[in-house]
Amino acid sequence: PMGSERTEVRKRQMSTTQETPGAAPAQHSTGNRGSNACCFCWCCCCSCSCLTVRNQDEERARRTSHELQAEGIPNCEESPAPTLEEVNAWAQSFDKLMLTPAGRNAFREFLRTEFSEENMLFWMACEELKQESNKSVIEEKARLIYEDYISILSPKEVSLDSRVREVINRNMLEPSQHTFDDAQLQIYTLMHRDSYPRFMNSAIYKDLLRSLSEKSIEA
């Protein structure tokens, strides 16, 4: 019975192919579809790896904070609530913003709205790596950082130039606490120049500043 069903399906496919102009080449490659064609279509014009990369890019744009939380990524660092003085200091320089957990949390919340939270996550992972001294732990964490933020197949891939990627690939032959130093600096600079100015003009920052100012007046 199963053989009969497969025969009928194949007849219908052949009938469809004959009725559709330009479909014959695809039918001709049916037997070797697994090696040459995409898994999800009859044509041989693209590879599965191309589809994978494209799908990953699309998935990256659709990711939300809820999905990130579901993967076990913490919502924020533990920190006391910021003071009005601290929040005012964030406007003085990006360095002052990044020095405090409260500042990083607020900035990370903003990055999440722009679908670029991976920049902060990568920076934090590099900082954590620098604190390690055990060789096996360093190698494992370096591998995870590479898979999560450097691999082109990762939905959390950060934007790095080819020179920095080459440095990372060389460093991964013998990972250390400083394997990603160049990449971390590049991402830090990117956040500083690109995201930080928008954060200072965002509702997230202005609402926090207004709330703390009102509390200060009431006190």
Using one digit for the tens of pLDDT, what is the confidence trace for 10-31? 555 555 444 444 444 444 444 4
Q: How far apart are CA 144 and CA 132, in angstroms?
A: 14
**Cβ distance 71 to 166 under 8 Å?**
no
pLDDT for 39 equals: 39
What pLDDT shows up at residue 211?
Answer: 95
Q: Which residues contact 32 (CB under 8 A, 6 or more apart)?
A: none
Tokens of 7: 């025969």
**Number of CB atoms found within 10 A of residue 97's CB:** 24
- pTM of structure: 0.65
Please name the fold of domain 84-218: Regulator of G-protein Signalling 4; domain 2 (1.10.167)
Residues 203 and 198: their CA atoms lie apart, in Å, by 10
- State whether the Cα torsion 37-38-44-46 is positive or negative: negative
How far is the CA of 71 from the CAs of 2, 58, 118, 143, in angstroms?
41, 18, 13, 18
Residues of the chain with pLDDT under 50: 2-4, 6, 9, 16-54, 57-58, 60-73
CA dist., res. 137 & res. 70, Å (int): 25
